[in-house]
Structure 1
């Protein structure tokens, strides 16, 4: 019941290519279970939201990302896409989907292009992590690694402290990687006492091999996503550095 209500609340896009396997089937193994958790708080305007989505669509279909997917032990990953804002808002926009080649990636990108968008106040990175943990638990796939990928342009200002959510996820064997967007526009809520990439490094990312890739702004977001996906899928550690 919990799984069904969460998927319905998530507004998952319908389509046979995106539907998870039947509940009674044995979980299919993949190299990585990857939750893409994307900030849609009020500091992200319509143009920036489009740049984020186009960045993910372009990255997932990039030949270099597909090569990384196919180079894994099993040659496949499972991805779900969620959006988040304040503590009261997390939504699974696309259900779990197996990606093993170009055709899968293109279907995923098309579904994301058609999905509706919302924008709400406040920024709860902790809420995004907690919701991402639930999505991982309910995945119809079995992953050799479990990763939550947090992208956002502000600090946690809603819900429980982000460090608590991060530590709970890491305790369950989940890796949290980050993509801070170093936006110079005014943000809502409190400003970080340190640069946003430092904040992500100290308070958001965690787990073995966790890393972040900072995007200078929304226009450089797509390149940052591509680089980060390749590293996440390949499972190789990476130094902290800008896109």
Structure 2
């Protein structure tokens, strides 16, 4: 198939659950299943997306908001799960052995006409991964739960036509929040989450000219504001469409093209 575009959507994004869809006309993958199987199905149905096209699940790390619905969904649809050995060892469940496929750093995995590259990221988890999904030359990154933008992340971000990028907290809101000191340090200490400022620095310094869509992901309920994050990024968008991925509902489906032009439907 002459693959020129990808369909992407966030099914949910936040500490209450994360699940991201990337696919083409024939096949798709999910990155993380942090909402229930039933909720995943409902949200995909509302978007007109078919579970029959989903051919694999890729897991970034073992925290509950990324794996809550994994076992049920994988078992129901007999889906292979790509997961690092460290992540699997940190999970509090027994995934069916025949569904397990181990990730290796910078390994390329072929799922039909989709190519998925996983690479290690900085986060307070056991062997966590970020992912880039490609169809032909069109590339979409899933970059959440990141303490710092490492060289690998920068390298892959520069190649993406679209990306899900964490903008977890606003520095001032986190500082003023009722969170205990140890939790504030965990979030902002370099192995936790990306702030609006760090995410914006990555975007403004390394955004490729052909990036058409940026979905701001994993926003904190207490330490960020969707309107604040949206305005910050729109000021430096330079033609990139900025979308906030909600912690309460799915986004629409966006179509990402290899050329500079992209559209949504």
TM (norm. structure 2) is 0.38
Larger radius of gyration: 2
| Bigger share in helix | 1
Higher relative contact order (CA 8 A, sep 6+): 1
